[in-house]
Chains A and B, each alone.
Chain A
Amino acid sequence: MSLDLAAQAERVVVEILDDFRSGRHRGVVVDSPPGAGKSTLVVRTAVALASVGERLMIVAQTNEQVDDLTTSLSAAVPAGLTIGRLASSAYVRPARLAALANVLVDKDVGNLLSCEIVIATAARWAYVKDRCWPWAILDEAYQMRSDSLLAIAARFERALFVGDPGQLDPFSVVENDRWRGLNWDPMQSAVAGLLRSNPDLPVHRLPVSWRLPASAENVVATAFYPYTGFRTSAEPGDRELTFGTRAFGRSSVDALLSEAAATGWGFYELPARHTLRTDAEAVCAVADVVRRFLDRGAIARSGNDSRPITAQRIAVGTAHRAQAAAARQALFDLPEVTVDTANRLQGREYDLTIVLHPLSGRRDATAFHLEAGRLCVLTSRHRQACVVVGRVGIRELLDAHPSSEPVHLHEPVKFPDGWAANQTVMNHLYAHRIAA
């Protein structure tokens, strides 16, 4: 990768740290495109503060995120510092945490006050009372809903909000427009609300994605980060996908694999048909592709480091839970392969992702299926290649989609537009399509 990119990224990180630590602003926002070193930034900031004796709290959204952060923090903090992992009573401490000497796990925040760093989920923090930390870091802040920020805002004096604006918005089981247009609309994301109430807060952007291959830079940036964009650290040729074995015969799946290997993208196009969400044929195709990658002994090279792609390094992404369940069934013999919905794949990274296109086999698109964040998550988890499986007719579906979205006054327009993003991605995939 080019050094100036690294330097540029480093410069931004330093600016962020200065901006935050200067105490000039109560809040500093950091937008991070996929794999741009969000967690690294969180850990680095935490260590920087903790090692000069500052006390801070860290907020993440899911227990898994919290445990991930705890693990990497525990490895990063200088000796003598301890990390307090605040948990709910239902929480069972995973093995990987049990091993860590400098991590205290407790239900009661009172027992963790000796820790320089206390970390917990937003939900857990909401039940901490009458304590206040001088510093806070909120991770995955775009997945957090504005009202849950309201519940914990009194716990800190100033905070660093880190997150990926391109990912899925938080949602609610309630449909109600009464708060539309209010700066503090509780249904919006924490960051969106924060910035509407505090428009002068500095917003930084991590400029470089360390995860995505060069082949993903253009399409992902134009589709999902239209006004900001980003660069990939990997340059053409930095990443390479090869196979230990040669193709068996001349099957379309092998054609797909070589397209993916050559370009980093593949669109496996099944014949047109209107199907249920759990389109057995499509699910089958997804499973076949996964298997073939493994059978062919796919090897991922990144820079000078080459490793065979194991099942753990492969993810299957879907829109609906039912689809994930069906795919898991189809891959029952490969439990190491991650099979999940976009919501749960947020923030994860793999060598290969195989995606069941949210619009595959549908007769019409709903806001859910068009949501830009969903497609963004699905098409930006990979280091090497992303293969999308879908049926003929998605483009026609998009073209025929009636745009009947209501417009609410004083509500900032959210970009990218899901429909437009889908168009962009589809046009891109079309150049990589292999007919099943």
Chain B
Amino acid sequence: MVFRVTSAAEALERRIDELRTAVRKAVTAGERERAMALRGALRRAEREWEDALDELADQPAVLVPRQAGPLLPLREQVHQALTLLGSPAAPKLIIAVHEAFHVGEMVPARLTSLRRDEERSFRSSPHSRPYYLCSALTADLLAPARGLLAVSTWPMALRVIGPLSPRVDFLNSAIRLAEHLDRIPEPGPTARRLLWRFAANIPGGAASADAMTPTVVAQAAEAELKIHRDADRSHREAAAKRARQLPDVEQLFGNRLRSISATGT
């Protein structure tokens, strides 16, 4: 029995090697279609092989024990992170924030699909949830800003992105992170490293990772923020005014169809 499985596994192994070579031959010869077909076969074989060996394996692979702790659903976790940052953010940053302050990992792939799910849910039954994770809108075209997530309950002006907004939001987030680090008793190394990534790119933020103090980071960010704030606000509010004329769903998820009076800035 066991013997049969092994031999099967070995046979598969041989087949896998053959397929690999075949695929590479095809690729090198530039036979795209052939390569694709072979790849399919290869993946199947590999799966079978894995299974065959799983049977062999004395005990099934144990999962690493996760630290206990309430595992919020993904959208809650994202909402958490966004609320902490206080401005639209990209998945990468959201994940970083989550990992800095919470247990459990966030899967990037699921984050990308998240916004679509939210939009679907809103279209099917509008305003049925307390909040939606929605898009940030570009100030000029009110189109969804690439790869930025926001919270529906935020004021429109915060959710539209003018030319200065990426920097302003970055500085704001830096301040809020710094304050949060000051609040919590024992900020872990991940949390400090996250803040350092901000501090390093703010004039006067911190001389070195070790020398960094949240207060100074916040002050430095505030200092630069002063310079951009007003210009950014007027931009955003003007755009927000236009945005509020959009149908609800587009107010949350942006308009892709027509472009509302695209005034270049």
- A–B contact (CB under 8 angstroms): no
Interface residues of A (CB under 8 A from B): none
Interface residues of B (CB under 8 A from A): none
